[in-house]
Chain A
Amino acid sequence: MTSIDLSIRAAAAEIQLIGVTKSYDARTTIIPPIDVSLRPGEFTVVLGPSGCGKSTLLQMIAGLERVSGGKIVIGGREVQDLEPKHRGCAMVFQNYALYPHMTVAENMAYSLKVAGVSKAERTERVATVAKMLGLADFLTRKPGQLSGGQRQRVAIGRAIIREPGVLLFDEPLSNLDAQLRHDMRVELAELHRRIGATSVFVTHDQVEAMTLADRILILNKGHIEQFDTPKAIYHNPASVFVAKFIGSPPMNILDVTGDGHVLRLADGQVVANYAGEGSFRLGIRPEDISVNAGGSIKTEIRYREDLGSHEILETKIAEQTLRIAMPFGVEIDTTQTLSLSFPQARLHLFDGENGRAIPGAFGDARSASASVKEYQ
């Protein structure tokens, strides 16, 4: 699988969504107007909980759903009113959607057949794609005789055989078991490098998003919460929603109140220095919390999960759950009250009302952690 085969290489197309919106009637708006631009050859993962409109968005790009408004531009061409076949997209479906009455070869060649490609060329293209996907020995089988992973490969083969400029994936790995999902992820990443088509991959699995994406587009109720690289999304979440959605276990979000000098929990404990007043939401990742005897924040352990490589402590602080990830080998006395400190450089501050991140809130964080103690 390592030799790079250039015989199937698409001219990647740019995808632009300009004010694209979808509503079924006056009251139910699935997707409010959205503006986004996907670069040619980029692998974009659309991530969101079920019902956030991510599949609808994909189907609108594919032409399987009509847009209620706005423009879709693929490779410089306005396509929102064109049929799927004229948009230059190919799609891989969650349930594979292979034609059960056709062989593997017929399944992959169907789009070419419809397009009127000669039989000789179809056979040749099928052979190339089958070799690339390790399906050469299965060409005469029917989908019913294949395993889940093989079916998924056929579905991918069917999509790439037309050398589309845009590849769309609708949760293609969610029907596979964990091991296979991992293997297919690796294969997909490799395939993308080789084919270079602009890819849009819809999923609710953050691991798939983090590992596959050049950029992740996080959708919440049709709104774009954040569109950025996996690194940026992990380290600088733009909102509470993103912060809670990415990371396992997810980021801790604590309700805090600012008095102009410090941020306090509901029980009065000071957790950070901040000059703002009012209610805020403070985020810290479980792995960023440091447990030490000198820590000023006190909490009770309620539950511990040993995951081998690390341990998750679930604690309660001011009636809110706080999860702490402990590296392997750190001994903790669970009977005692736990002393913690939150390194200010690792803290994230969000607006208490709309949940949007307040960037640079702890810009001067380095020196602050020491001064917290003075208020105790």
Chain B
Amino acid sequence: MSSESSLFGHRWLPLLLVAPLMLLIVLFFYVPVFQAFYWSFFLEQPFGGGSEFVGLQNFRRVLTDPEFWAATGRTVVFMLTASSLAVIVPLMLAIAADRKIGLSYAARNILVWPKGIAGASIGVVFAFIFNPFVGLMAPLNTLFPGLWNPGIDGTDAFVTLVAAHVWSGIPFNFVILLAGLRSIPPTMYQAAAMDGAGPWRRIFDVQLPLIMPQLFLTFVLEFTESITSVFALIDTITGGGPGGSTSLLVYKIYVDGFRGFDLSGASTQTAILMVFVLLLAACQFVFLGRRLNYER
């Protein structure tokens, strides 16, 4: 053993030290995941009392259900729009805050605050902000009656969800991207200015290429997280409605499992969703991750 042995002379001490954390991860992540995979091959009784091995019958049932595919489609649309916007909006804010424009120092502070707000609270606030009668859009509705009503119009409800998600994603992505921008040496901009590149050109030729590692990180986290973290927003803003138009996969799983008591169906969908997320993250790393690091 090399230097490690001098740090940890005791053989079991390191294991003992990570044990509490490992216990939590096993208890609240690996066990439920295993359980979900296990149940997806069984027909579970809703109130206990034994289960029956059914092989792939659950998968057959779920995969032929048009409602599952509709929810998956909505999930993909949400993933693409919401997570892209949740990176692009903070990116624009970070580029602005990185410049010495007015109030950028104050903005850098204020933009971090939403990080401290729970998803459910954000949902309640946005349900109010986008309320068609008393919210921000109310004046528009008096001018053009029926223009905005997320309670009736599925698209409006979806837009509300995306807006709430983007807003809640601003602080974290903003901080990461701003840190990336700050790490670019100022002489890089000066060199680009001497080379004749104006501010806009510098964004695309210098800033964006140099914060690719940060952009990649935020995109990966957003893509994988948007799929699951949207639950709190759906639950508080739309409840999956109107007419199931905002019932994304993660919300459908909850409804199927805990309201419909279809434990096996919900477990099967959970397993599918999990594999989907893992594949997504893996693809991003394989296709993008390697090309993005430069030696400064």
Contact = CB atoms under 8 A, between A and B. Distances in A.
Contact of A114 (B188, B201, B209, B295): B201
A114 B196 contact: yes
A97 B191 contact: yes
A84 B187 CA distance: 14
B185 interface: yes
Contacts of B187: 93-95, 97
B195 A97 contact: no
Given A97-B185, A114-B195, A91 B295 contact: no
Contacts, number: 70
B294 A101 contact: yes
B196 A93 contact: no
B195 A100 contact: no
Contacts of B191: 91, 93, 97-99, 158
B195 A64 contact: no
A247 interface: no
A234 interface: no
Given A100-B295, A142-B295, A115 B196 contact: yes
Contact of A85 (B196, B209, B294, B296): B196
B210 interface: yes
Contacts of B201: 114
Contact of A99 (B188, B190, B193): B188
Given A100-B294, A144-B296, A89 B210 contact: no
Interface residues of A, number: 28
A91 B188 CA distance: 12
Contacts of B190: 59, 62, 64, 91, 93, 97
Nearest to B206: A99
B207 to A, nearest CB: 11
A264 B195 CA distance: 59
Given A97-B188, A100-B295, A101-B294, A62 B206 contact: no
Contacts of B209: 99, 101
| Residue among B187, B191, B197, B294 with the highest chain A CB neighbour number at 10 A | B191
A50 B116 CA distance: 45
Nearest to A164: B194
Contacts of A101: 209-210, 212, 294
Contacts of A84: 193-194, 196
A144 B185 CA distance: 15
Contacts of A90: 194
A111 interface: yes
Nearest to A64: B190
Contact of B194 (A91, A98, A115, A143): A91
A98 B212 CA distance: 17
A85 B295 contact: no
| Chain A to chain B: the 10 pairs with minimum beta-carbon distance, closest first | A144-B295, A85-B196, A111-B195, A97-B191, A97-B187, A100-B294, A101-B209, A114-B196, A93-B187, A84-B193
22 contacts: A59-B190, A62-B190, A64-B190, A64-B194, A84-B196, A85-B194, A97-B185, A97-B187, A97-B188, A98-B191, A100-B210, A100-B294, A101-B209, A101-B294, A111-B196, A114-B196, A142-B295, A144-B294, A144-B295, A145-B295, A158-B191, A158-B195
Given A62-B190, A83-B198, A93-B187, 6 more contacts: A85-B196, A99-B205, A99-B206, A100-B296, A142-B295, A143-B295
